[in-house]
């Protein structure tokens, strides 16, 4: 396993620990859900974005890992002349434009949920469930990157 791939898995593991704590705080504490979310969401987001960045580096076959991972394709180190990013990285660039990665990268805000005038449904900001979903997607991406590395 490459170092960036190992770091990606470690970041995912740390995110899962935070998500478990988030769930416990929601069920065991007498704290408003919005406050628990504001306490946990930024930390979970950072761990998931770190995992994403390590996966980008692993996909690019970077062997000398930086101190901190990039959080987007545009922050990757430049490639030597004549080389292009692997297909997995190009797919991630598209997801950063309009997809689940773009949603993960969006800033966590402390704005309360909004209810549209024409709907009884409350539009949620971030939620633990949304971060769980992103975590699962990153696990799938990690498997795709690992498979691509094995094949090369």
pLDDT in tens, 59-69: 998 888 899 99
- Would you state the pLDDT for residue 62? 86
Where residue 64 falls (left for φ over 0; alpha for ψ -120 to 50; beta otherwise) is beta
- Would you state the pLDDT for residue 52? 98
pLDDT in tens, 6-23: 999 999 999 999 999 999
| Segments making up each domain of the chain, as ranges | 3-151
- Would you state the pLDDT for residue 21? 96
Cβ atoms < 10 Å from Cβ of 128? 19
C-alpha–C-alpha distance, residues 73 and 57, integer Å: 9
State CA 31 to chain mean position distance: 26
pLDDT in tens, 21-72: 999 999 987 899 989 999 999 999 999 999 999 999 999 988 888 999 999 9
C-alpha–C-alpha distance, residues 87 and 62, integer Å: 15
Q: What is the pTM of this model?
A: 0.88
Mean pLDDT computed over every residue of the chain: 88
Give residues with Cβ within 8 angstroms of 21, minimum separation 6.
Answer: 40
Q: What is the percent of the chain with per-residue pLDDT over 90, rounded to a whole number?
A: 68
Residue 134: closest CA among 20, 47, 24, 36 = 47
In the numeric block, which tokens belong to residue 5? 């791939």
pLDDT in tens, 79-123: 778 888 899 999 999 999 999 999 999 998 866 555 455 555 545
């Amino acid at each position: 396993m490459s170092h960036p791939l190992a770091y990606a898995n470690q970041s995912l593991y740390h995110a899962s620990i935070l998500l478990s704590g988030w769930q416990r705080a929601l069920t065991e504490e007498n704290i408003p859900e919005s406050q628990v979310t504001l306490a946990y969401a930024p930390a979970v987001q950072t761990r998931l974005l770190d995992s994403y960045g390590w996966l980008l580096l692993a996909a690019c076959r970077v062997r000398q890992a930086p101190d901190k991972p990039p959080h987007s394709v545009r922050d990757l180190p430049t490639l030597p002349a004549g080389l292009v990013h692997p297909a997995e990285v190009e797919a991630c660039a598209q997801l950063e434009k309009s997809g689940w990665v773009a949603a993960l990268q969006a800033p966590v805000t402390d704005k309360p949920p909004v209810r549209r005038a024409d709907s009884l449904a409350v539009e949620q900001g971030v939620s633990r469930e949304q971060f769980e979903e992103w975590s699962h997607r990153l696990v799938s991406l990690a498997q795709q990157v690992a498979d691509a590395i094995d094949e090369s």
